[in-house]
Amino acid sequence: MQVLVEQGVIKILSEHAHSMNAALRLNALWALKHLVYAVPTPFKKTCLEELEPGWLVHLICDDTEDNALISARANVEREDDQMMDEDVDMQQGEVRGWLFGSVVGQDSAKGRTPQMEARLARYRESESNPVRKARNDDLAIQEQGLHFIRNLVTGAKSDMGRSLEAETTEMINFLFSSLGQDRLFEILASKLRARVLRPLSRRSTSGGGRDSGSSTSSASRVLYPQSKIIEAVVMILVHFSASVPKYRQVVISQTPLLKLLVNHFNSKDKEVRAALCHLVSNLTWTDSSDDLVEAGQRANELHRLGFVKHLETLEKEDPELDVQERAKQALFQVKQHQG
């Protein structure tokens, strides 16, 4: 009976994750993310299959809501310079707050600073402005999709008594076969790259209505990856690296991805910096003496890519004690294995 109930829940949530309604997709993914956390591998596989690997990729990769409004933007005479990317992190937090049932209070303006009033105005504008809301919906859905993958590879001891290592290894293999190993790492890399938003094309005319060929009235906008997306990507790699040596080698071989990651040691978000330290610690971890040679190779590669330099800075200068300690531990392990 319990199995039938679970399968019914998975089916319903997966159907909602395919909904045309962004809020329903978001909530369904959020629920599925929690369902697959630390449960036996067969249950995880069922969830991924029911959701459909191709659709999961679509949810993470495509700016569905944002692109749906491109045509509408053509009729807009003037765009707010801060419409797309100002305070996106805070607005993502607002979306997550709404997801958990919290609401923005209607307190009196008494005691609010001008900065607080301006921020509240932006929050209200994000709810009424369809372009900004679409962008926020995309980011929130992509974040939940990445966390779904993260939780898929978070192992749990099964009823059959299999080890955590065996459970995790099987699930990573299944994930790679379902999404494609190279495709998955390219998806993760794409989430770390800046995205150029197509400009709104409006050309002025001169004499007789002839197109003067002037440039667009607004320059292309660069949307930088947001901290919650970056953290989710790093934590997927952290869990890969926490499994068997084989997957630590797979992660360290992703040079383009690691080059993108090293740029985020300067992130203003402490969770991103802490996650990067955690990744280095996992990549230089050894389960046995058989992994010592490869651990040394991984340590040398991290040094070559600039991770060690950034870790040394975090250990000495980071304002967060937790990040300092994580950087210190990561440095100790890297230097222990360096040749």
pLDDT in tens, 248-301: 999 999 999 999 999 999 999 999 999 999 999 999 999 888 889 999 999 999
Stretch 117-145: mean pLDDT, rounded?
Answer: 77
Q: Which domain holds residue 134?
A: 1-70+83-98+120-179
Q: Is residue 209 assigned to a domain?
A: no
The pTM is what? 0.77
- Which helix (H) or strand (E) covers residue 221, if one does? strand 221-223
How does the average pLDDT of the chain come out, rounded? Answer: 80
Do 159 and 290 have their domain in common? no
For residues 271 and 163, state if they share a domain.
Answer: no
Q: Does 242 lie in the same domain as 168?
A: no
Q: Are residues 145 and 172 in the same domain?
A: yes
Same domain, 173 and 226: no
Residues 6+ apart with CB under 8 A from 21: none
Please check whether residue 303 is in contact with residue 260, taking contact to mean a CB–CB distance below 8 angstroms: no
Measure the CA dihedral 182/185/186/187, to 10°. 120
Q: Which positions ≥6 away from 86 have C-beta within 8 Å?
A: 122
141 and 224 assigned to the same domain: no
The verdict on residue 104 lying in a domain is no
Q: Does 302 lie in the same domain as 160?
A: no
227: CATH = 1.25.10.10
pLDDT tens per residue, range 57-68 = 999 987 654 454
Q: Judge if 89 and 174 occupy the same domain.
A: yes
DSSP annotation string for 233-285: HHHHHHHHHTS-HHHHHHHHT-HHHHHHHHGGGG-S-HHHHHHHHHHHHHHT-
130/21 same-domain check: yes
Into how many domains does the chain fold? 2
Q: What are the backbone angles phi and psi of residue 280, rounded to the nearest 5°?
A: -60, -40
Q: Which residue's structure tokens are 């859905």?
A: 141
Assigned domain for 187 exists: yes
So what's the pLDDT on residue 337? 86
pLDDT number for residue 113 = 81
Do residues 45 and 174 share a domain? yes
318 torsion bin: left (phi>0), alpha (psi -120 to 50), beta (else): beta
Q: What is the pLDDT of residue 157?
A: 54
- Residue 199 DSSP symbol: P
Query: Is the residue at 105 inside a domain?
Result: no
User: Would 270 be classed as within a structural domain?
Assistant: yes
pLDDT at 118: 76
> Domain for residue 210, yes or no?
no
Q: In degrees, to the nearest 5, what angle opens at C-alpha 83 toward C-alphas 77 and 85? A: 145
pLDDT of residue 104: 42
Q: Is residue 201 part of a domain?
A: no
Q: Is residue 288 part of a domain?
A: yes
The pLDDT of residue 197 is 67
Q: Give the residue among 145, 122, 199 at the shortest CA–CA distance from 32.
A: 145
**Tens digit of each residue's pLDDT (9 = 90 or more) over 152-207:** 998 765 545 556 778 888 999 999 999 999 999 999 999 999 877 665 444 344 44
The pLDDT score that the predictor gives to residue 132 is 73
Tokens of 146: 């990445």
pLDDT band at 109 (very low <50, low <70, confident <90, very high): low
Regarding whether 226 and 247 lie in a shared domain, the answer is yes
On whether both 170 and 243 belong to a single domain, the answer is no
Element (H, E) at 206: strand 205-206
